[in-house]
Amino acid sequence: MPSLKGKNIIITGASGGIGAEIARLCAARGANLVLLARSIDKLEILKKELQSKYAINIHARQLDVSDPEAVKKVFFEVLSDIRYADILVNNAGFGIFDFAHEVKTEEIKSMFDVNVIGLIACTSMVLPGMKQRGSGHIINIASQAGKIATPKSSVYSATKHAVLGYTNSLRMEVADDHIFVTSVNPGPIATNFFTIADKQGTYVKSVKRFMLKPEYVAKQVVDRMMTKTREINLPRWMSAGSIFYTLFPRTFELFGKNFFNKK
């Protein structure tokens, strides 16, 4: 594993879940951090926790990535302070599970604004510096939902398909600039994500035994920082399912329908 000591790492959605766990692991390895999220109170608590343990520089800034002007302002200020970013982890995102005909227009817009447009906006702010320096790593937290579309997640799946499309194209664009681009495609993770996504709790009940621990996912991400890793797919059996889905979509949908309809 390449050393992260002294690296400048920006993490969106850092106030909880895998974002906060990634921050903890990076801090333990000596990286300097920029923590971004809508909840500044939670960020300040995390910042205080990490500064009490590690001699690193930490910036905590409030940011709603769905606001393009706020993204420009905050990133301009941050980059003025730290000069450059070695790694950007685009972790901010959310989902709402609903049938396609029931999902509200404002919810559709919000999911695309955060999951797709916000991710692209944040990436655009660090890319010029990375290209100039000939070094960097963009890590986009996508989802297995971007590979396997399921009932009641049509819009969420669409946003993650978009993230994968953007990530794959970007990887080829910046390869000659020695910038690594990685997509992280986890299955369900035991975080507060489902407080919003699965309001009735039916999906959580059906997949609880399969849920990944945020600490485990975070470690898989941090271990591959500054390496030429194309994708991180978790868990492995679900990754195998996405390959089967690509090869035999009708068969997969036929036999997987009952399981996926548990949402």
Is 169 within the bounds of a domain?
A: yes
Backbone angles phi, psi at 54, to 5 degrees: -130, 145
Number of domains in the chain: 1
Is 123 within the bounds of a domain?
A: yes
pLDDT in tens, 59-83: 999 999 999 999 999 999 999 999 9
Active site residue 156: yes
Is 158 within the bounds of a domain?
A: yes
Residues 6+ apart with CB under 8 A from 192: 16, 17
Is 20 within the bounds of a domain?
A: yes
Q: The tokens of 218 are what?
A: 């975070």
pLDDT in tens, 80-130: 999 999 999 999 999 998 889 999 999 999 999 999 999 999 999 999 999
Give the structural domain span for 47. Answer: 8-260
Residues 6+ apart with CB under 8 A from 261: 151
Looking at residue 150, which CATH number applies to its domain? Answer: 3.40.50.720
pLDDT in tens, 10-27: 999 999 999 999 999 999
Handedness of CA 23, 45, 129, 233 (dihedral sign): positive
Is 1 within the bounds of a domain?
A: no
Q: Which of 54, 156, 166, 203 is catalytic?
A: 156
Is 146 within the bounds of a domain?
A: yes
Rounded Cα distance, 231 and 242, in Å: 13
Is 3 within the bounds of a domain?
A: no
Is 133 within the bounds of a domain?
A: yes
> Buried b / exposed e across 108-143, counting CB within 10 Å, b at 16+?
beebbbbbbbbbbbbbebbbeebbeeeebbbbbbbb
In contact, 138 and 120? CB cutoff 8 Å: no
pTM of the model as a whole: 0.89
